[in-house]
């Protein structure tokens, strides 16, 4: 049953990425049609976005670690954490990820790295001080699951598609505002297509963000299920999530660009985000699913 749930989550994630690709194609068509600029401008916009995504993919771990102020976790300083991570990595069949610690009282953790050979797990000092061994194992297993499931690839592709849609939208809007309005007729079938293209240009950026949020939520459910399978004790992660969510302290190094990486949305309390616009599913639902696993 658990394997079926994991497989279903993977299928849904890749389906959403396919929808991203379709959305990018529709946006490209919309602005090409409205502005009668042909394909070179669209190709250039997509190429720029893909180049930026390539750089962020290969150097994402360095960027995230620098942004969060994480430092390497030495075994002589954090033997408890290192031993747990070593055992779970062996159980997951992946190389031991590099371990980092963020000096912050807020309990949280994240994973990054483009594949299992470049995996990184980082935890806050607040997490180490607040969780017991079973809870810490659940959190580390969750982050290792992100790495072994290659969630970073899915997340990077999703962000890439959002970037392309945003770039195309900005480029097309500026072109229409500053004189390049196109010469499409407002009558008959042409008028209908113009209205459809304009509607798509307005709605596409919001739709892209909602798809990204949906992909992130599915990744969290998948990592929760995989962590429960790895530790054989889903209640450990459930109890950890309950403690993390109940802590009111803000995470100083977190921002919108990195919030989706954390096990619990670090901006939830600070910004009062609604569930619709959160990169994470409701923590109550995550806890309920874990506890139902026994």
**Which residue do the tokens 């699951």 mark?**
145
Enclosing H/E stretch for 50: helix 40-68
Distance CA 122, CA 106 (A): 13
How large is the average pLDDT for residues 217-229? 89
**Which residue do the tokens 């483009």 mark?**
114
Tokens for 223, please give them: 């990592």
Distance CA 71, CA 204 (A): 39
- Contact predicate 258/64, CB 8 Å: yes
pLDDT digits (tens, 9 = 90+) for 90-147: 999 999 999 999 999 999 999 988 788 999 999 999 999 999 999 999 999 999 999 9
The radius of gyration computed from the CA coordinates of the chain, to the nearest angstrom, equals 21
The pLDDT value recorded for residue 60 is 75
How many other β-carbons are positioned within 10 Å of the β-carbon of residue 292? 9
pLDDT digits (tens, 9 = 90+) for 140-189: 999 999 998 887 767 666 666 666 666 666 666 666 666 555 545 444 44
Enclosing H/E stretch for 29: helix 2-35
Q: Which residues are catalytic?
A: 143
Distance CA 36, CA 17 (A): 28
Distance CA 28, CA 50 (A): 14
The pLDDT value recorded for residue 189 is 46
The one-character DSSP state at 101 is E
Average pLDDT, the chain: 79
The pLDDT value recorded for residue 198 is 65
- What residues make up the domain containing 81? 2-292
The pLDDT value recorded for residue 50 is 66
Question: Under 8 Å CB-to-CB from 182, ≥6 apart: which residues?
Answer: 33, 34, 35, 36, 176
The total number of structural domains in the chain stands at 1
């Amino acid at each position: 049953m658990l394997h079926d749930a994991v497989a279903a989550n993977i299928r849904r994630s890749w389906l959403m990425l396919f929808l991203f690709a379709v959305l990018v194609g529709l946006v490209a068509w919309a602005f090409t049609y409205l502005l009668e600029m042909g394909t070179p401008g669209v190709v250039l916009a997509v190429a720029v976005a893909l180049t930026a995504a390539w750089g962020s993919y290969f150097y994402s771990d360095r960027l995230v670690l620098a942004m969060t102020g994480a430092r390497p976790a030495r075994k002589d300083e954090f033997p408890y954490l290192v031993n747990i991570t070593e055992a779970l990595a062996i159980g997951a069949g992946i190389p031991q990820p590099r371990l980092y610690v963020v000096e912050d009282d807020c309990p949280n953790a994240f994973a990054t790295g483009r594949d299992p050979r470049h995996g990184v797990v980082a935890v806050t000092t607040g997490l180490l001080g607040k969780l017991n061994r079973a809870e810490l194992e659940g959190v580390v297993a969750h982050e290792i699951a992100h790495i072994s499931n290659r969630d970073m690839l899915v997340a990077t592709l999703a962000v890439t598609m959002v970037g392309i849609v945003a770039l195309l939208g900005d480029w097309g809007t500026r072109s229409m505002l500053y004189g390049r309005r196109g010469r499409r007729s407002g009558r008959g079938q042409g008028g209908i297509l113009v209205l459809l293209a304009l509607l798509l240009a307005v709605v596409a950026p919001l739709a892209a963000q909602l798809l990204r949020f949906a992909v992130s939520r599915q990744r969290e459910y998948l990592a929760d299920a995989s962590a429960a399978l790895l530790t054989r004790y889903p209640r450990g992660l459930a109890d950890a999530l309950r403690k993390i969510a109940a802590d009111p302290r803000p995470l100083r190094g977190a921002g919108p660009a990195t919030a989706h990486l954390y096990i619990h949305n670090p901006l939830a309390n600070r910004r009062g985000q609604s569930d619709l616009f959160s990169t994470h599913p409701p923590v109550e639902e995550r806890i309920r699913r874990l506890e139902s696993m026994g």
